[in-house]
Amino acid sequence: MSDFNEVIILKLFQMKRFPFVFWMVLLLFLINSCNLDSLDMNKLSKEVNLNPALVAPVVKANISVWDLIQSANTGNEDVLTKDPVTGLIKIVYRQNDLFTYNVRDFLKFPSQQAFSSGDKQLGEISPANVSISKNITLNDLVNNTNGALDEIVPLNGTNSNFPAASYNGPDSQYSLNSITDFRTISLSKGTLEINLDNKLKVPVTITGSLYDIGFNRKITNFTFANINPDATSKTSVSLAGVQMSSQIEFRMSTFQTPGSSTPVYIDLADYFNISFDLVNLGISNGNLKVTAQTLEGYSGVFGFTFPEPDLKAFKAVLKKGSLLIKTTNSSKLTGAINFSLDEIKRNGVPVIASIPLSGNSTTIDLSGTEINFSSDQAQPYNQIPYTFSLQVNGSNGYIDYASTDAIKMDITLNGLEFKSIHGDFGKRLIEIDPGNFDMNVDLLNKIDGGFKLANPKLELILHNSIGMPGTINLDFTASNKDGKTAPLSPPAFDIPVPANISAGAATKSIVFDKSNSNIVNFIALPPTGQISYSGKVDFNKTTPVTLLNPNFLDVDATFGIDMVMELPMELQISNLAFKDTSAITGSDYEKLESADLIVNSTNGIPLDIDMQLFFIDTLQNTQLGSSKKTKILTAAQVNSSGAITPVKATQTFSLDSSEMVNLRKANGIVFSGTVSSPSGGAGVATILSDSKLELNVVIKAKVNL
Amino acid sequence: MKNILTKIGIISLIVMAIYSTVSAQESTTLQFMKGMPQSDLQNPALHNDSSSVVIGLPGMSGVYFDFNSGFAVNDLIHKGTGMLADSLVLDIEGFHSSLSTTNSIQQNLSFPLFYLGFRSKKSFFSIGVTEKEVAQFTFDKSLVTFLKDGNAEYMGQNFDLGNLKMNAFDYTEMAFGYSNEVIKNKLTVGVKAKALLGKFALKTERMNMKVETAADGSSLNLSTDIKINMSMPATPEYDQDNNLTGMNTDNLNPKDFVMQTGNMGMAFDLGAVYKLTPKITLSGSIVDLGKVSFKKDLISLNKVSNYNWVGIDFSNSIDSTNANYVDPADLIKNETTKMENAFRPKKSDVGSEVFDVTIPTKIYLGGTYQLNNQFSIGLLDRLYKNGDISTNTVTLSANAMLANFLSLTGSYSMIGKSTNNLGMGLAMRLGLMQMYFVSDNLMALADPAKANYVNVRFGMNLLFGRKHKPVSE
């Protein structure tokens, strides 16, 4: 210390204000010397330089293949099934109603038919029997025999021997009551029965005739010989071809009696009775009164015409329909037609109708009726037989009648709807219009490249109500997203035919597998695009049709084809590629210097899986880099009998620092993997639902904090 | 013989310094500072001031504060290089390198409320009331190692993160001191009896954490073993599942808290000063030999937890059609709940155990060599022991009494492994009033970031009947 400094110090010590000055100087020294720069946290860099390498399990899972596959096929879970016995997983794609055919379109049915009976002549009419009788007394005889029986007059009232008598003409006339049933008629048939009832006390022999006064001609002569007292006698004469009027009389040509040998009481009031009965008359024409009666019936057939010219209908059931009948009557008769369609039955009862002859139309409901078109042996198809008769009302007066008067029936079938039909439908063809469908199996959409399923199957389930033998030629063509196609090339096959129309739809399952089709390559495409199909069905191509072996169909039934694609997961694949792209924000990985994904697995699935990541810039459409392709799962072992033994392995998927740089630049990441079945794809990997994949995924990352 | 003892003592101090972690607790510069009545805080037989009566008044007699750790802020945060030359950077690696196996951060606060000391012939009596607070946080280097390196290097190992300790307590010390020159001009002995009134304590009996990483990384097992004793005016609160949710301090009454007497303790200071030669004086003391028993407002938490993390189990979250399907979003929530339940204390884990807090004990050994009437040099070794933490400090000081009113001491200390500690003590008398300032590490004030520890004591004494010459001389 220099002298100068010592002086200064001593001066300072001697100063009264020294303590204050000293403290101030000390305080200033402390404050000025304080370096707080190193504690200015505003200058703290964000660089932490902390780079721990962290290991932590991220996820674990003990999952069945079933769960795994279900998750990869989200939203379409129904497509996947598992065999209840073996657990084999199957992709089952079902396309119900792949093809449906409206059977109503199969045959064309008429909705209307018109028939006419044509003019049907009425023919003879049969009036009631006509009976006219006459009592002729001894007094009448006395008065009309020109005195031949005058001897009797004095004996009147006495018991005397009746004297023999003989009258030989001329004809004595005895009037008869007029016939009220007609005025004039021409008979096509009939019989005149003449009866003599002798109430005289002596035998008589009489000859005479029935005389038509209207036409002034004799109708017939007759003789009753030696008719004893109280005896009767009858003689019959045919009236066929006779024209007669209602005014007739009995003309007696001769009368003879031997008289009595013993006294008898003679009474001039004694008589004999003669009657004339017109029986079983058939009138072809005339002016007459018609009694209520049924005229003889008629029968015929209507020919049913179908739009299909070669269709031969044997029988049919109508769902709906009506029969309209209109008559045309040229006669003076009134009444009705009893119309019967014996082969159109409802509940087994023929359809009948009473149709007035007045010309009004009548409608018959045919709903639910069954028509037999085959009753005619000569043409056992498309024929509807009918019969009818006339129910004639009794006339109020005399009408003219001629057997040539005619009745005509015009019949119309309206609103016909057929329920079913049997017959010979002829050779027919159904075109299965081209169609397509998309299996839309998410699992298939996520894979790329070829693979093969060992036993894929495509099953067609046919539902057929048409009673016709037929053969289907159907083809499927699969396409993938790249436009490649593969045909299924299945064989033709027969459709199922129901045993009878009541048997319902017949169902048949047709399976196309590797033995009868190209289905292995068809599925191997894989069909990620559309599957198109087309085909045809040929009916009655070879089998003859008979009444006993008819075609039939119910128009309400269907012809349809359901499809089931069954793809058992028996895979034979080699480096099958699958991809999935996810959007990322690369900057999220700024803090990661490197990362290892350690996959500890016990794999019960016989598939090797390799994974590679591609880092992409979707805006520039460029690939920024990729990871190394790394195996992440080792396939389970499969022995010769197919038994699966899980394999435990640890695989590490690494992203080094340069790969992380590319990851950070990317805005998208493509997960690209390959899957192979055992033996590098040569073996078949059977994917069982209960196979387990036990995973423990560990991330080992160097973090730049 | 003296030389041998001196040599043994010096060697022992060096060894202790090497094997001790950094600590502070009362300025070692203070002990041989001339004219300072507070020297009896470190040795009840040592009175560097000759005043007949010393009074320290509440709010005026000063305050002591220290903060120390085994590492400096600069070890963790410092200026960078190159592009970051103008910035501060976090240097985890450097921080890790600076750590010892076990590290602690300690903080002491002492606030004298009243002090009265008076001299009667060869005896000195004192009474003092002081509010004291001690806080200590201890952690093992392995904790930082784990944060720095992660667990990747320890797959297949059970990594012990070490023991964490968080201890803090607050108490009022009522000290009654007496010293007497038992051998005239040779030996003075002193004793202080201290009644301790505990106010608050947090004592970590155990807080151990381990992370076991499976060899294949498939699991992380986190285990903790915690026992913490507390005495505080709070009531634990639980949710409906009896999980501890927090502490309710709504009923805290500050007056009751300050005046409470339920947690009593005792401590003693013992000291001796031996004048070996007219120029050489030896001294030794044991300070704060005692403890506080906390018996009031007790909360003890004893929890052994184990949580095995094996990743989110997606076994039932793959197939949404599965009857047992669990939504992935729920998995994380469930796992978080599981983890919380594993570590969250239950009501059954909470008790009320009486516990003791041992006051950090200090052992001072030292001596001075009087160069002349104004100057002396001193050498002091202090062994500080607070539970498992022991700290040794060696201080070389030059002490001067200038112009009867100014006491000035400069010091150099090796505090643990820290060797850049230049201290200073300054006391100035203005009539009856004496103002003082003491710190063992002035350089900490110049560059706090590089300091392992900081301590400072300053305040004011009222001195009556002071002789020209300090009594010890």
Q: Could you tell me if A548 and A588 lie in one domain?
A: no
Amino acid at A323: L
pLDDT at A33: 59
pLDDT digits (tens, 9 = 90+) for A175-190: 999 998 889 999 999 9
Q: Can you read off the two tokens belonging to residue B445?
A: 């004030």
With contacts defined as CB-CB under 8 Å, which chain A residues touch B149? 52-53
Contact A696 B88 (CB under 8 A): no
Q: Could you tell me if A300 and A275 lie in one domain?
A: no
Do A88 and A539 touch, CB atoms closer than 8 A?
Answer: no
pLDDT digits (tens, 9 = 90+) for A258-282: 999 999 999 999 999 999 999 998 9
pLDDT at B470: 45
Distance from CA of A631 to the nearest CA of B (A): 17
Is some CB atom of chain B closer than 8 A to the CB atom of A696? yes
B174 forms beta bridges with: B129, B195
With contacts defined as CB-CB under 8 Å, which chain B residues touch A53? 149-153
Question: Which of B88, B213, B446 lies nearest to residue A43, judging by beta carbons?
Answer: B88
pLDDT at B15: 35
Is the predicted pLDDT of residue A575 greater than 90, yes or no?
no
Domain assignment of residue A194, yes or no: yes
Determine whether A650 is exposed, middle or buried from the number of CB atoms within 10 Å of its CB (0-12, 13-18, 19+): middle
DSSP string, B362-397: EEEEEEEEE-SSSEEEEEEEEEEEETTEEEEEEEEE
Q: Single out the residue of B186, B28, B51 nearest to residue B470, CA to CA.
A: B51
pLDDT digits (tens, 9 = 90+) for B358-367: 998 999 999 9
Do A574 and A604 touch, CB atoms closer than 8 A?
Answer: no
Contact B311 A59 (CB under 8 A): yes
Distance from CA of B151 to the nearest CA of A (A): 5
If you average pLDDT over residues A157-171, what whole number do you get?
90
* Domain termination residue (choose one: A424, A447, A481): A424
pLDDT at B43: 94
Interface test with A, best of B90, B148, B405, B458 (most A CBs within 10 A): B90
If you average pLDDT over residues A662-680, what whole number do you get?
85
* Domain termination residue (choose one: A401, A424, A447): A424
Do B177 and B123 touch, CB atoms closer than 8 A?
Answer: no
> Of A471-485, A567-581, B281-295, B388-402, which has the strongest mean pLDDT?
B281-295
Q: Name the residue in chain A with its Cα closest to that of B331.
A: A59
Is the predicted pLDDT of residue A471 greater than 90, yes or no?
yes
Give Cα A493 distance to the centre of its chain.
23
Q: Which of residues 545-604 of A touch B (CB under 8 A)?
A: 598, 600
Is the predicted pLDDT of residue A321 greater than 50, yes or no?
yes
Distance from CA of A514 to the nearest CA of B (A): 32
Q: Name the residue in chain A with its Cα closest to that of B88.
A: A44
Contact B426 A26 (CB under 8 A): yes
Q: Quickly state the pLDDT bin for A73 (edges 50, 70, 90).
A: low
Q: Could you tell me if A445 and A390 lie in one domain?
A: no
Q: Could you tell me if A168 and A203 lie in one domain?
A: yes
Q: Could you tell me if A364 and A392 lie in one domain?
A: yes
Amino acid at A215: F
Contact A70 B319 (CB under 8 A): yes
Q: Single out the residue of B200, B204, B180, B182 nearest to residue B190, CA to CA.
A: B180
pLDDT at A1: 41
Distance from CA of A602 to the nearest CA of B (A): 13
Could you give the CA distance from residue A13 to residue B403 in angstroms, rounded to a whole number? 8
Domain assignment of residue A53, yes or no: no
Q: Which of residues 648-677 of A touch B (CB under 8 A)?
A: 650
pTM over 0.80: no
Question: Which of A57, A68, A703 lies nearest to residue B318, judging by beta carbons?
Answer: A68
Contact B220 A34 (CB under 8 A): no
Which domain CATH number covers A163?
2.60.120
Q: Could you tell me if A542 and A495 lie in one domain?
A: yes
Is the predicted pLDDT of residue A246 greater than 80, yes or no?
yes
Contact B447 A38 (CB under 8 A): yes
Q: Single out the residue of A271, A284, A143 nearest to residue A206, CA to CA.
A: A271
Domain assignment of residue A357, yes or no: yes
Domain assignment of residue A668, yes or no: yes
Is some CB atom of chain B closer than 8 A to the CB atom of A38? yes
Q: Quickly state the pLDDT bin for A480 (edges 50, 70, 90).
A: confident
With contacts defined as CB-CB under 8 Å, which chain B residues touch A13? 402-403
Q: Could you tell me if A595 and A620 lie in one domain?
A: yes
pLDDT at B467: 64
Contact B447 A35 (CB under 8 A): yes
pLDDT digits (tens, 9 = 90+) for B300-348: 999 999 999 988 888 888 777 778 888 888 888 888 888 888 888 999 9
Question: Which of A45, A54, A62 lies nearest to residue B315, judging by beta carbons?
Answer: A62
Q: Quickly state the pLDDT bin for A446 (edges 50, 70, 90).
A: low
| pLDDT, chain A, mean | 86
If you average pLDDT over residues A146-151, what whole number do you get?
86
Contact A55 B321 (CB under 8 A): no
Contact B150 A55 (CB under 8 A): yes
pLDDT at B471: 42
With contacts defined as CB-CB under 8 Å, which chain B residues touch A23? 428, 435
Contact B447 A60 (CB under 8 A): no
Q: Quickly state the pLDDT bin for B187 (edges 50, 70, 90).
A: very high
If you average pLDDT over residues A150-172, what whole number do you get?
90
Q: Name the residue in chain A with its Cα closest to that of B222.
A: A56
Do A571 and A679 touch, CB atoms closer than 8 A?
Answer: no
Could you give the CA distance from residue A635 to residue A573 in angstroms, rounded to a whole number? 12
**Residue with tokens 């009751």, as numbered in its chain:** B256
Q: Name the residue in chain B with its Cα closest to that of A35.
A: B447
With contacts defined as CB-CB under 8 Å, which chain A residues touch B319? 63, 66-68, 70-71
Distance from CA of B36 to the nearest CA of A (A): 17
pLDDT digits (tens, 9 = 90+) for A493-548: 999 999 888 888 899 999 999 999 999 888 888 888 888 999 999 998 887 888 88
Name the pairing type of β-strands B280-294 and B263-275: antiparallel
Q: Residue A658: which H helix or E strand, with range?
A: helix A657-665
Is the predicted pLDDT of residue B19 greater than 60, yes or no?
no
Contact B77 A44 (CB under 8 A): yes
pLDDT at B326: 86
Q: Quickly state the pLDDT bin for B4 (edges 50, 70, 90).
A: very low
pLDDT digits (tens, 9 = 90+) for A590-629: 888 888 888 889 999 888 888 888 889 888 888 888 888 8
- Bigger pLDDT: A524 vs A233: A233
- Bigger pLDDT: A345 vs B450: A345
Domain assignment of residue A170, yes or no: yes
With contacts defined as CB-CB under 8 Å, which chain B residues touch A19? 405, 428, 430
Contact B402 A13 (CB under 8 A): yes
Q: Could you tell me if A65 and A8 lie in one domain?
A: no
Q: Could you tell me if A194 and A222 lie in one domain?
A: yes
Interface test with B, best of A37, A55, A63, A81 (most B CBs within 10 A): A55
Name the pairing type of β-strands B433-439 and A217-227: unpaired
Q: Can you read off the two tokens belonging to residue A193?
A: 């029965």
Q: Name the residue in chain B with its Cα closest to that of A696.
A: B218
Is the predicted pLDDT of residue B91 greater than 90, yes or no?
no
Interface test with B, best of A15, A43, A64 (most B CBs within 10 A): A43
If you average pLDDT over residues A57-64, what whole number do you get?
85
Contact A600 B449 (CB under 8 A): no
* Domain termination residue (choose one: A253, A288, A323): A288
If you average pLDDT over residues B54-60, what whole number do you get?
83
Weakest-pLDDT range from A6-20, A27-41, A338-352, A398-412: A6-20
If you average pLDDT over residues A98-106, what whole number do you get?
82
Could you give the CA distance from residue A127 to residue A291 in angstroms, rounded to a whole number? 6
Is the predicted pLDDT of residue A232 greater than 90, yes or no?
yes
Could you give the CA distance from residue A100 to residue A109 in angstroms, rounded to a whole number? 20
Domain assignment of residue A605, yes or no: yes
Q: How far is CA B406 from CA A468, B8, B36, B39, B469, in A?
A: 133, 35, 11, 16, 13
DSSP category for residue B243: B
pLDDT at B17: 33
If you average pLDDT over residues A104-116, what whole number do you get?
86
pLDDT digits (tens, 9 = 90+) for B384-407: 888 777 889 999 999 998 877 889
pLDDT digits (tens, 9 = 90+) for A1-11: 444 444 444 45
pLDDT at A214: 92
Contact A56 B309 (CB under 8 A): yes
Q: Quickly state the pLDDT bin for B169 (edges 50, 70, 90).
A: very high
pLDDT at B1: 42
Q: Could you tell me if A64 and A147 lie in one domain?
A: no
Q: Name the residue in chain B with its Cα closest to that of A46.
A: B89
With contacts defined as CB-CB under 8 Å, which chain A residues touch B86? 43
Q: Can you read off the two tokens belonging to residue B41?
A: 């805080």
Q: Which domain holds residue A447?
A: 90-106+428-568
Name the pairing type of β-strands A630-633 and A271-288: unpaired
**Considering its fold, how many domains does chain A have in total?**
5
Could you give the CA distance from residue A60 to residue A696 in angstroms, rounded to a whole number? 4
Amino acid at B170: D
If you average pLDDT over residues B26-52, what whole number do you get?
89
With contacts defined as CB-CB under 8 Å, which chain B residues touch A45? 80, 84, 87-90
A167 forms beta bridges with: A255
Question: Which of B92, B311, B445 lies nearest to residue A57, judging by beta carbons?
Answer: B311
pLDDT at B347: 93
Q: Could you tell me if A282 and A136 lie in one domain?
A: yes
Is the predicted pLDDT of residue B125 greater than 90, yes or no?
yes
Question: Which of A30, A34, A57 lies nearest to residue B310, judging by beta carbons?
Answer: A57
Is some CB atom of chain B closer than 8 A to the CB atom of A53? yes
Domain assignment of residue A254, yes or no: yes
Q: Could you tell me if A139 and A277 lie in one domain?
A: yes
